[in-house]
Structures are given as structure tokens and as C-alpha cells.
């Protein structure tokens, strides 16, 4: 498997499971309806764990343009591979959104609220204040990338004598879970431009009845914020360690 295909497959798994847990909680008539924020954040953490385990050995399991650009900015990843990674991540995320719609199609039909339907695919702020929303995404993504760099630090992996390395994807999932329950309230913690943009494109294109707007006016926030945060988090880790 090429690293580009691995990024596509890994991001596809990430979004299918991640957006899937949101659908299970917010759409009417599902087994998990009204499961709450903890279910969503736990589901996203586990989605990241499964996706990273699936393709880590092939592509490094970036699955996130903020990670790819952050690594390239600090010299940890070749710029020549960045465009292919970003395209693969976006394509996988878009198809993941489509698969979630296929799984939950009757429940989309049963759900009247267009905002709930949109929430399955992409993030939106609890309080729309663009400067604050951008700041939250920058901070949350910086914490994410900093935490992942720490988990994957070769010194930490070596000290674990293989055991720690095997747990690395699970620990990365825990970082996402922690960010979700601690910093996810204001914006829904995109922390990943592909995670938000790809499914938002799917929402725009899919024949979902009474789906309402895809909120393109906000869509740049979960793109720019995470990209800036990824560069900051990666840069800070390089400076300190």
C-alpha cells in the first residue's frame, strides 16, 4: 500500500467512525439517541485509535492536514509529499461522510432539525464569535500536535521497550478524547481541516431532505485554526525538546 492510499483509507475509517458516533447521538430514532457529549468524545477518541492502528506502519497515520503541515514546517516531513497527503485525507474524509449518511439514511429522514443533520458532518460553534472560535481551534490543535509529538518521541518509544510503541495509537486516541471533553465545548473541536471540510462537502452534495445550509461562512475557521495550531504545536515541541 502506498502512503497516499494509506492516508485515504485511514481518514476514511476516522470519519466513518467519528461522524458515525455523532449521527448515533443526534439523529432521531437511533439506538444511541441523546447519548450525550461524553459518548461523542469517547467515540471520536476510539475512531482515531482504530484509524491510526490501521495505517500507522505505512504512512505514519497523519490523517490530518494540521499534522502533515505541522511536521513539514519543522522539517519532520517532506514538503514534496504534502499535496498528495492533503488530497488523500480530504478524499477519505468526504467518502467517510457519505458512508455515514448511507448507514443512517432513515434517521436523517426522521430528523427534522437541519442543524442536527449538519452536525453529523462538520463542526459549528456553540456561540458564534469568530475570533474566539479561531482561537479555540488554534489552542486545541496546538495541544493535540504537541501531545502527539510527545507520544511519538523516539526516547519515549525506546524507554517503553516496544510496549509503549504498541500503545502509541491508543494514547493518541486518548489525547483526542481529552481535548474533546476539555476544549471541545466552544467549537466542537475540529482540530483537523479534512475532518471538517470533507464531510461538509458531502453534506452539500448529498440528497438529504430539508438539510438546510452547509454553513460555508464558518467553514474557513476549522481549516485555518487547526493549520495554525498544528504549526504552533509542532514548533513549540521542537523548541522545547
What is the per-residue pLDDT across 97-120, written as a single tens digit (0 to 9) for each? 999 999 999 999 999 999 999 999
The DSSP 8-state label assigned to residue 76 in this structure reads S
With beta carbons less than 8 A apart as the criterion, state whether 222 and 66 touch. no
pLDDT in tens, 42-88: 999 999 999 999 999 999 999 999 999 999 999 999 999 999 999 99
What local confidence, expressed as pLDDT, does residue 1 receive? 86
Where in the chain are the domains?
3-240
Task: Please check the confidence at residue 186 and state whether its pLDDT lies above 80.
Answer: yes
Model confidence pLDDT, tens digit, residues 198-215: 999 999 999 999 999 999
Given this model, what pLDDT does residue 161 score?
58
Fold of 3-240: Glycerol uptake facilitator protein (1.20.1080)
> Which are the contacts of 6, defined by CB distance < 8 A and separation ≥ 6?
55, 58, 59, 61
The pLDDT value recorded for residue 158 is 67
* Residue 124 cell numbers, joined: 459549528
Q: Please, what is the average pLDDT of the chain? A: 96
More confident residue, 166 or 47: 47
The predicted model scores a pTM of: 0.96
pLDDT at 166: 83
Q: What is the pLDDT of residue 129?
A: 98
Question: How far is Cα 147 from Cα 237, in angstroms, rounded to an integer?
Answer: 9
b/e 151-176 (16+ beta carbons within 10 angstroms → b):
bbeeeebeeeeeeebeebbbbbbbbb
What are φ and ψ of residue 7, in 5° steps?
-65, -40
pLDDT bin (cut points 50, 70, 90) of residue 156 is confident
User: Between 57 and 155, whose confidence is greater?
Assistant: 57
Amino acid at each position: 500500500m502506498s502512503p497516499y492510499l494509506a492516508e485515504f483509507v485511514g481518514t476514511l475509517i476516522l470519519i466513518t467512525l467519528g461522524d458515525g458516533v455523532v449521527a448515533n447521538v443526534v439523529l432521531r430514532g437511533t439506538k444511541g439517541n441523546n447519548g450525550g457529549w461524553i459518548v461523542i468524545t469517547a467515540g471520536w477518541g476510539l475512531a482515531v485509535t482504530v484509524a491510526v492502528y490501521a495505517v500507522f506502519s505505512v504512512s505514519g497515520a497523519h490523517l490530518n492536514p494540521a499534522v502533515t503541515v505541522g511536521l513539514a514546517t519543522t522539517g519532520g516531513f517532506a514538503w514534496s509529499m504534502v499535496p498528495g497527503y492533503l488530497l488523500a485525507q480530504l478524499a477519505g474524509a468526504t467518502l467517510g461522510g457519505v458512508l455515514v449518511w448511507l448507514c443512517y439514511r432513515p434517521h436523517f429522514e426522521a430528523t427534522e432539525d437541519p442543524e442536527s443533520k449538519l452536525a453529523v458532518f462538520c463542526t459549528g460553534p456553540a456561540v458564534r464569535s469568530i475570533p474566539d472560535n479561531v482561537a479555540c481551534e488554534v489552542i486545541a490543535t496546538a495541544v493535540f500536535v504537541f501531545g502527539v509529538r510527545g507520544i511519538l518521541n523516539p526516547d519515549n518509544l525506546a524507554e517503553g521497550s516496544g510496549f509503549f510503541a504498541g500503545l502509541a495509537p491508543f494514547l493518541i486516541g486518548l489525547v483526542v478524547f481529552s481535548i474533546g471533553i476539555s476544549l471541545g465545548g466552544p467549537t466542537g473541536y475540529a482540530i483537523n481541516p479534512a475532518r471538517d471540510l470533507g464531510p461538509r462537502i458531502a453534506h452539500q452534495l448529498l440528497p438529504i431532505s430539508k438539510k438546510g445550509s452547509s454553513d460555508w461562512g464558518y467553514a474557513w475557521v476549522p481549516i485555518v485554526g487547526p493549520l495554525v495550531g498544528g504549526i504552533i504545536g509542532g514548533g513549540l515541541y521542537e523548541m522545547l525538546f
